[in-house]
Amino acid sequence: MILDIGRVCIKIAGREAGNIAIIVDKEDTKHVLIDGNVKRKRCNISHLEPTDLSLKIKKGASHASVINAMKKEKLEVKPSTTKKPKKEKPKKQRKQKQPSTEPKILQKKAKENKKTKKETKVTKKTTKNKTKKTASTKKKQTNKTKK
């Protein structure tokens, strides 16, 4: 048989076309298992073109042993395309407060100003809520009177 185990072929179809593939195992009359400069997988015979070279490998040989046999025969070995591991992003850290260079009297004043601002905000909120409540009660009363 031309397409026996260890036969050096060249892949014709697919994204790996033009690469060296070596038959590792036979699956059925139409399909074989290939390895080498292609991903180890099942392949149709019609997608392979055999050459006159053949390597001495066992049936179902591993990827490493196939590549060793290729190196002995001085065939070109392409590095396997493995995905690079993603780099972890550094976690965001809060900025640390730096000690202020202002004199102590000014610092006290700034604190007091903050307090007053907060109080004014609270008072505004309470007045808004009261006005809303009064408006809603008035509406209810008017509805009752209509009925």
Partner 1 sequence: MIKKQTISRKMRKVFVKTPGGKTQLVYKRPKTSKHKCAACGAILKGVPNRRPSKVRKLPKSLRRPERPYGGQLCSSCTRKKLRQKVRKVSKK
Q: Is 101 exposed, middle or buried (0-12, 13-18, 19+ CB in 10 A)?
A: exposed
Does 14 bind partner 1 (CB under 8 A)? Our answer is yes
* Closer Cβ to partner 1, 52 or 88, answer by number: 52
In the list 27, 41, 51, 111, the residue contacting partner 1 (rule: CB under 8 A) is: 51
Among 17, 106, 110, 135, binds partner 1 (CB under 8 A): 17
The enclosing H or E element of 11 equals strand 7-11
Contact between 20 and 54 under an 8 Å Cβ cutoff? The reply is no
The single-letter DSSP state of residue 50 is E
Which range of residues in 49-57, 91-99, 120-128, 133-141 is near partner 1 by CB under 8 A? Answer: 49-57
Sign of CA pseudo-dihedral 77, 78, 80, 85: positive
Near partner 1 by CB under 8 A: residue from 6, 10, 26, 54: 10
Q: Judged by CB under 8 A, does residue 12 bind partner 1?
A: yes
List residues near partner 1 by CB under 8 A: 10, 12-18, 49, 51-52
